[in-house]
Amino acid sequence: MPVPEVKESFAGQVSRVTLGSTKDSGGTRTSTVTVGGARNVVYGGSIEQAGEKPVIAMDVLDSRPDDWPETLAEHYQDVMDSPGDWAKKCVEEFGADLVCVKFDGIHPDKADKDAAHAVKVTEEVLKAVGVPLILWDSGNDEKDNQVMPKVSEAAKGENVLIGTVKEDNYKALTALALADGHHLITHAPLDINIAKQVNILVSDMGFPLEKIVTFQATGALGYGIEYAYSIQERQRLAALGGDKMMAMPAICDVGYESWRVKEAKLEDAPGWGAVEDRGPMWEATTAICLLQAGVDIIRMRHPRAVATVKNFINQIWQ
């Protein structure tokens, strides 16, 4: 006797977010990207309940990185000094759905670049590609509070995704995103309660919940992936259960986390296999794992890993 198929239904759903503004909407993007909308867990329910396809944002750093392993950096050596060309390569050669400009160079412990540099990079990337942008701060609150207002203003009208805002540093960037018409990334350190609290704080400032994307600190394969997965899964279940403060699409930073672990980049490792294969596999496996927990936007770096993950997405989300 065949086992009857069980299709669990839920009361809530993940909100839909559309990034990018075309000419008709006052921007210069040639395309937009919509994420979210799921009304069931991954693999659960009907195709109609699956929501929008997850998308891949490829990282473009504002200044040449000095800590990338050769097996990753070799794909970008010709464009690392030109963020615009770097972004163009990600879109035209590697198929990025979005470009994430990561402002590492403004960090005081790195190149300590100023706001003028960040604005120039933003404008250069906007001119080079037509896909929507993510503008990601350096992680140093003091410097970000000086620079990100100028970045936000430079991208005004483009409906970018900008961040990140945290529990103890959210007011300035939230106000700017509201004034400049951007979407906002809310950030929590793998803690679902803090994630909800940040969303509440941002909402209390009048920022629309439907313009928020959440970011939980990401763990790579072998370095906290189980915890990261469980947090993302709990967030998806909370959204499906009707919790409006947890019903936002989610983004994960897979590229950075994957390429800083030794298994992905260590060359002198007999028995581990070729490093040029190992790194992309580590990044792709991390991404695919988190996609199955319900993540909507994946930040990535290696083109081979991107191709693998795009193939997975196209097979699962028909």
Identify the band that residue 2 occupies on the pLDDT scale cut at 50, 70 and 90: low
Mean pLDDT for all residues in the chain: 95
Q: What confidence tier does 258 reach under pLDDT thresholds 50, 70, 90? A: very high
Q: Answer whether residue 42 shows pLDDT above 50.
A: yes
User: For the chain, what are the domain ranges?
Assistant: 17-316
pLDDT, residue 7, reads: 58
pLDDT digits (tens, 9 = 90+) for 206-237: 999 999 999 999 999 999 999 999 999 999 99
In this model, does residue 304 exceed pLDDT 80?
yes
| Alpha carbons 226 and 214: distance in angstroms, whole number | 18
Band of the pLDDT at 270, cuts 50, 70, 90? confident
Contacts for 219 with CB less than 8 Å, ≥ 6 apart: 190, 225, 226, 227, 228, 257
Categorize the per-residue pLDDT at 293 as very low, low, confident or very high, splitting at 50, 70 and 90: very high
For residue 9, pLDDT beyond 80: no
Rounded-to-integer distance, Cα 287 and Cα 73, Å = 20
Q: Look at residue 269 in the predicted model and tell me its pLDDT.
A: 85
Range list of H helices, 17-140: 70-73, 83-92, 115-128
Q: Hey, what are 286's tokens? A: 């991390």
Q: What is the pLDDT of residues 16-26, one digit of tens each?
A: 999 999 999 99
Split at pLDDT 50, 70, 90, the class of 47 is confident
Q: Whole-prediction pTM value?
A: 0.96
Cα angle value 136/287/125 (rounded, 5°): 30
Mean pLDDT in residue range 174-197: 96
Query: Is the pLDDT reported for residue 48 higher than 90?
Result: no
Residue 6 has pLDDT above 70, yes or no: no
Range in 176-180, 221-225, 252-256 with the lowest mean pLDDT: 221-225
pLDDT tens profile 53-104: 999 999 999 999 999 999 999 999 999 999 999 999 999 999 999 999 999 9
pLDDT in tens, 107-144: 999 999 999 999 999 999 999 999 999 999 999 999 99
Instruction: Enter the CATH code of domain 17-316.
Output: 3.20.20.20
DSSP code of residue 287: H
Q: Would the pLDDT of 238 be above 50?
A: yes
Asked if residue 146 has pLDDT above 60, the reply is yes
- Calculate the alpha carbon distances from 209 to 57, 162, 196, 230, 249 in Å: 22, 14, 11, 23, 11
What is the average per-residue pLDDT within 176-196?
95
Question: With 80 as the cut, is the pLDDT of residue 177 above it?
Answer: yes
